[in-house]
Structure 1
Amino acid sequence: MIYSTPNHDVLRRFKDMEFAWNAQKNKMSDIKGKENEQERKGLIRNKDIDLSKTHLNYDLVESNFNLYQRIKKRVEKVRENSRIQKNSVVDVSNIITLNKEQFEEWGEDKSKEYFREVYNYFCDEFGKENVVSAKVHMDETTPHMHLHFVPIKDGKLQCRSVLNQSRFNKVHSNAPKYLQEKGFKVVRGNGKTKERGNIDNIHEYKKEIENILLNELENLKIDLEAHRGALNEILDLEHLEYKKTLLTGEIKLKNDIFDSMVSTIKSLTVENNDLKENLKSKDKKIEKIKNELKSMDFKLTEKEYLISKLNKRKRDVKEELRKEYEDQLDEHMNDWFKVKELQREIFKIEVENKEIKKDLVRYRNLYEQQEKIINSNPELKKLYLKSIPLEKENKNKKYSMSL
Structure 2
Amino acid sequence: MSYVVARMAKYKSGQLSGIYNHNERVFKNHSNKDIDPSKSHLNYELTNRDQSQNYSKQIKEHIDENRLSTRGIRKDAVLCNEWIITSDKAFFEEMNSEQTRVFFETAKDFFADKYGEANIAYAMVHLDEKTPHMHLGLVPMQDGKLSSKALFGNKDKLRAIQDELPKYLNDHGFDLKRGEIDSKKKHLGTAEFKEKQRLLEKTDKMIAEKNSNINVANKQLDELQSHIETKKQTLSKLEDKEGETVGILEQYGKEIQELAEFKNQKQTLEKFQFHELKKDNLVKHTIDGKLKIDKATFDKLYSTTRQAMSENANLRRDLSVVKSENNDLSRQLLRYRESGAENLKLTQENKQLQDKVKKLEEQIKFLRKQASIWKEKAKEFMPKAVYKETVSLISTINPVGLAKMAIRQVKKMVDNNS
Q: TM-score range by the shorter chain?
A: 0.3 to 0.5
Q: Which has the higher contact order (CA 8 A, sep 6+)?
A: 2
Give the structure with higher Rg (CA): 2
**Superposition TM-score, scaled by structure 1 size:** 0.47
**Superposition TM-score, scaled by structure 2 size:** 0.45
